[in-house]
Amino acid sequence: MAATTTSDPLIPKITPAASSANPAAPLRSTFSVLAAAGEPVATVRVRNLQATIPCGRDAWGRPGKVQPVLLSSEVSFRSAFTASSADDRLVDSETVHYGNLSKTLLGGLEGLGSGGGDALGSTTTTATKTTASQETSSSSSSSPSSSAVFELLWVRLTGRIPDGSTVALPPDQVPFLDASTLRSLSLTVNLPKASLLGGGGVSLTTTAAFKAKSALVPGGDGDDDDDQVKNPIESYARTLRISGLHIPTLVGVNANEREARQMLVAEVEIDRFDVTGEDVHDQIERVIVDAMEKSSFETLEALGAHIATKILDDFRLDRDLGQAPQTQQQKHDGAANQSMRDRGWQVRVTIEKPIAVPFAECPAVEVRMGQGL
């Protein structure tokens, strides 16, 4: 997401803080971002912190409904953990306490359960509050979209919006993480009850690779802390995942399989996901369910390829909901009618067939399609 002056109410308006305008980091695939970050040497993670707030859309696509939210984060550092016998330090300057990481994430949700204003006002600038309020208005509800909640949490951790281009904390507030010590950062917001058929729910994940401190070029503006002025993010990825869809499907080669539907379990992951204005997982889930319910394919491979093609080539958003900064110019060229393949999405479809092999939990196939694949 980049700073923008568009009048489109579905695109967040962000006003950069003083001396903070930087080029946005490029949106890449998760694999590319992790490769750029390199092999981790020291990692702190928390998984599935639980909260209940009005957020995003529920399983029926309704905005503003209270639902459970699970937060997970992984912080990878450039330096290995060290133990010192010289003092009693529990956490040195090159790492963070996982308890404080948990408190920071959960603290970002405080107040959202009663409408969201308090949480937004206590930790972010007007820019971030505008992001959430506009995305909220686009959903015609008093609750923020999952993207707005995600950005709020990311700002609390890093001080910047996810592409790193804009500082979104007031000058008197310090982000929880020191970017110069980071190799990579991932954050996941999971809505476990946001899918009618999905046992794993819906999740949004951003993964960022950070520049080495030596790569943060001074801005030449006389500031003593130029490293804090420059965008510290080398590249980032954004992924939407719909997990554990249980759908009765007609598929198989054997004669008995042509006579009745059998339960399949599907997971669909969209990498390079550039929709930032509103939750669209319910639209995508309908495409997946429709493709599987109408299936008469003989193989999982053919069905998986069909689902990926339907998403990439046939699916269209109900309206233009915003996109990543590197494709903003396409908005002026009819981007609302673009295929998802043209937008740069990468789709991974995994399908399991639980009852096909009696002595195995399940056979499964995985199909990947999209830009660069």
Taking domain 30-82+95-238, whether its CATH number is 3.30.1130.10 is answered by yes
What is the longest distance spanned by two Cα atoms in the chain? 76
Residue-wise pLDDT for 6-17, tens only, equals 333 333 344 444
Fold of 242-370: GTP Cyclohydrolase I, domain 2 (3.30.1130)
Report which listed range, 107-116, 144-153, 242-251, 313-322, is most confident: 242-251
Report d(CA 22, CA 41) in Å as an integer. Answer: 29
What pLDDT shows up at residue 223? 46
- Residue 165: which pLDDT band, with cuts at 50, 70 and 90? very high
What pLDDT shows up at residue 100? 92
Report which listed range, 55-64, 79-88, 142-151, 347-356, is most confident: 347-356
Contact predicate 274/284, CB 8 Å: no
Task: Answer yes or no: is pLDDT of 71 > 60.
Answer: yes
pTM greater than the 0.85 cutoff:
no
CATH 3.30.1130.10 range(s) for the chain read 30-82+95-238, 242-370
Residue-wise pLDDT for 271-288, tens only, equals 999 998 789 999 999 999
What pLDDT shows up at residue 342? 94
In the chain, the amino acid numbered 337 is N
Contact predicate 71/191, CB 8 Å: no
Of the two residues 357 and 236, the one the predictor is more confident about is 236
Q: Where are the alpha helices (DSSP H) in 87-187?
A: 98-107, 117-123, 126-138, 146-158
For the chain, the helix, strand and coil percentages under 3-state DSSP, each to the nearest 5: 30, 25, 45
Q: Would you call 71 helix, strand, or coil by DSSP?
A: strand
What pLDDT shows up at residue 6? 34
Instruction: Give the phi and the psi of residue 2 in degrees, each rounded to 5.
Output: -120, 160
- Residues 205-210 have a mean pLDDT of 97
